[in-house]
Structure 1
Amino acid sequence: MDETMGRRQIIYWRMLAAMFGQQEQAPNLEKLAHETVAELGMPGLLLRPDISTDNFLQRFPEYFDEMDLKLGEPGEPLRRAVIASHLLLNSFGPFTQQETVTAAQYSQWLRTVEFLERALGYEKGSLRGQGPGASVSPEHGRALPSPEICLATRELEQSLIDRMRLAELLQDRQLARQLTPSIGLVEQLLRQKGNISGVALEEAKRLIRTYVAELAEILRLEVQRAPAGKIDRSVPPRRTARNLDVKRTVWRNLPNYDPESRKLLVDQLYFKPHGRKKLPMDLIVVADQSGSMVNAMVHCTILASIFASLPHVTAHLIAFDTRILDLTPHIHDPFEVLIRTELGGGTMINNALQFAREKIREPRRTALVLITDFYEGGSDQELLGTINSLVQSGVHFFPVGAVTSSGYFSVNQWFRTKLKEMGRPILTGTPQKLIRDLKQFIVI
């Protein structure tokens, strides 16, 4: 190993030690790294994780071009190693682990990540999931980061937002526009919407509306793609060329075959049935307002608005914690529904189901979606009895514990077992299963 390679390794090992706050356990690495930087004639501030890239460049603007590493081009490997360690340390180092994060620190982090993207040859915003989603053509000279790096950066950003003084950030429109709408951010905004006003409230509503609109488009496509219910053969098929049943038509007309002309004389055409009776249906969505249920509540609120737009569907939306809130008048506007919810802690599920029961007109034409973690504030036995009576009456009951693509979610194990025995297992996971089940019941 030559001396340059050895010093590069020292720089990177020192970076890892600093990233995990272990400099004191590696004093030799710290000393050798500072000696290397001094020999290169570079400022020692590059090794300090508390000095942001922006602050460093304000003091040493001559290093701006050097921040663009342009991997693959010839250059001084040791200098590039020092710059790379600075950018990585500022993007993922000790500062990102602080208990609280200010708006200014978040802004500095965004700028550092932009420098890191530029240095690695990525499109601006690509590490945070805001860049182009397809491969970039060679003439652009830009690469795409690996999914693992993108995921780690997005998760880190969400963690920063969770620890940030969000009201302070939202007061700055320019900074607020750099936030990436996500379910975690929506939850934070819903929790704090009562404590913010003016510009901050406007930006909060904009972010929630943006996220809802993007998710609604995705779910609308999922609803369209999901398989529908069984074909109702009592519905006469449409007599169009697309529906022509060629095999059946030939088979039924075989007695009319003329051997002399070698032609099949067709007396009757047969068509494939595609019809499904669109009977009047009722959809009742009962959503737990507790903070742990935000993800499922957002998804199911949007799904309710999609199904409520069908002319043969009458939909109701009920939110609850220890109180009950009938949000049916706003069911066509998921944003308005979410703004009106109050994330709470207590849950009286049985009371909400009793309220929903009053909305049921014809049980066999009613789908009831209950979104909760099933940690009941009252009697578990009484709640199970209410659910059982609804199922026995013919109501199509859909218990939803979580609608999310990843992460552990806690659902009351007793109810998980009992509802599975009842033939109504609690749905957790992606929304596709709920969409498929609802579409089997509600004809679109």
Structure 2
Amino acid sequence: MSDPDAIRRWRLVLGRYAERSLPGDGLSEAERRADRALDYLYAREMERRGLRRDRRRQGGPGSLDPSQLTPLGWLAELRDLFPRSVCETVQGHAIDNLGMQDLLSDPAVLDALEPNKDLLKSLIAFKGSANPAVREKIREVTRKVVEDIVRKLRPRVEAALAGRPNRFRRSHVKSMQTFDWRATIRDNLRNWDAERKAIIADRLRFHGRSRRKLPWTIILCVDQSGSMLSSTIYAAVMASILTALPSVEVRLVVFDTAIVDLSSEAHDPVEVLMSVQLGGGTDIASAMEYCEGLVTQPTRTVFVLVSDFEEGGSVPRMLAAARRMASARVTLLGLGALSEDAAPVYDRRMAERLAGCGMKVAVLTPDHFAQWIGEVIA
């Protein structure tokens, strides 16, 4: 290659392992800093694969030796050199893929980490082995991330559960959710512009929403095995939002091979997430039997199973519990995922068997789950 810009870019992509063929002498000061910051993390993976870096140039002027950085200094470099989205990606690689658990064991380092959902998942998985000082920092980070999720999700959930549109009542609240396009077209037909072939609307119509009272019990039964961590986070947030609705009682139960009733903490997603214990097996049957005992008004109860449906306990008992609740006219919903991206990772065969017992099964994002709930309790 003769293009200096292409050489520099390939040098940054390949890192110190390309030093012999693509020396870093042509890098600018900012590029050297970026090279060092990335090498600090990704060289660990390359060495784990058996590759060895050329040590001849280390220790001299302009050395890119990663030992010059500490975790805290490295995080500061990332924030200074890269956009926020890149920092979050590299930070996630460090924690999840490359084993830099020292990032999670120092309160000062935790303060420097960029709060986001991926970090939250790592912290929840790590909290059980954290010392008290670090655990308190984990709680602080958890609250920041959860508050951000609630802030974004609450308006969509409340809109979905606010009631069906009432087209006979006009609304002073003007938004796309209350925009009545049919009435707007009808009221502006006289403004047809033949030249533009368009209606020039000078009056916009908006409809109100019929508020409904919801004398319902919603039981969220959440699989807390490691594979369902994203779903557990969003289930905790959804429980807190649903708890704030009038005339709705929320029961929150998390399980693996043990069952923990967190209904009293359902209003506080941070407390819920600090209470969950990830890992272990999966005993859906026992969890469903426990939740069956919480049902007092079957026709006014929605049972939501959030799981990958990979039953490690008794399948016949699980299916029998589903049949009993369905026969009692409990509304049964199964969510194979409850995360923003709704990745469909679940046992489809088992989900089909549950569907055969009267459970409706879907893979939904949280806002679509709220719409589903709204349709059920309309």
1:203 pairs with 2:132? no
Contact 1:87/1:115 (CA < 8 Å) preserved in 2? no
224-233 or 326-335: which moved more?
224-233
**Residue matched to 1:263:** none
CA gap of 1:161–1:241, structure 2 versus 1, over 3 A, is closer
1:128 pairs with 2:62? no
Contact 1:229/1:440 (CA < 8 Å) preserved in 2? no
Aligned-partner Cα distance in 1 for 2:314–2:101: 38
1:107 pairs with 2:104? no
**One-letter code aligned to 1:160:** A
**One-letter code aligned to 1:372:** S
Aligned-partner Cα distance in 1 for 2:313–2:112: 44
**Residue matched to 2:153:** 219
> How many residues were matched structurally?
327
CA gap of 1:277–1:200, structure 2 versus 1, over 3 A, is closer
**Residue matched to 1:322:** 257
Contact 1:106/1:160 (CA < 8 Å) preserved in 2? no
Show CA shifts across 1:175-205 (max 9, x none).
Answer: 3222122333223222332322332122111
| Matching residue within 352, 369, 376 for 1:434 | 369
State the percentage of identical aligned residues: 27
**Residue matched to 1:290:** 225
**Residue matched to 1:372:** 307
CA shift for structure 1 position 392: 3.4
TM-score by length of 1: 0.64
1:351 pairs with 2:286? yes
Q: What secondary structure is seen at the aligned counterpart in 2 of 1:287?
A: strand
Query: Where do 5+ consecutive residues of structure 2 fail to align?
Result: 49-65, 174-206
Alignment of 1:359-398 (within 5 A): 359-398=294-333
* Pairwise CA RMSD: 3.6
CA shift for structure 1 position 425: 4.8
Query: Where do 5+ consecutive residues of structure 1 fail to align?
Result: 38-77, 118-126, 130-149, 243-271
Aligned-partner Cα distance in 1 for 2:159–2:232: 22
Contact 1:296/1:404 (CA < 8 Å) preserved in 2? yes
**Residue matched to 1:188:** 122
Aligned-partner Cα distance in 1 for 2:339–2:214: 31
Alignment of 1:11-410 (within 5 A): 11-18=8-15, 21=17, 27=20, 29-30=21-22, 33=23, 37=25, 81-93=27-39, 95-96=41-42, 98-99=44-45, 105-117=70-82, 127-129=83-85, 150=86, 153-162=87-96, 163-164=98-99, 166=101, 169-173=104-108, 175-226=109-160, 228-230=162-164, 275-406=210-341, 408-410=343-345
Q: What secondary structure is seen at the aligned counterpart in 2 of 1:426?
A: strand
CA gap of 1:345–1:209, structure 2 versus 1, over 3 A, is same
Contact 1:371/1:402 (CA < 8 Å) preserved in 2? yes
Aligned-partner Cα distance in 1 for 2:165–2:343: 38
CA shift for structure 1 position 299: 0.9
Contact 1:370/1:399 (CA < 8 Å) preserved in 2? yes
**One-letter code aligned to 1:349:** I
Show CA shifts across 1:185-228 (max 9, x none).
Answer: 22322233232233212211101111112112222111123265
Q: What secondary structure is seen at the aligned counterpart in 1 of 2:146?
A: helix
Of structures 1 and 2, the larger Rg is shown by 1
CA gap of 1:409–1:89, structure 2 versus 1, over 3 A, is farther
Aligned-partner Cα distance in 1 for 2:170–2:116: 47
CA shift for structure 1 position 404: 2.2
Contact 1:170/1:203 (CA < 8 Å) preserved in 2? no
Contact 1:305/1:332 (CA < 8 Å) preserved in 2? yes
Q: What secondary structure is seen at the aligned counterpart in 2 of 1:98?
A: helix
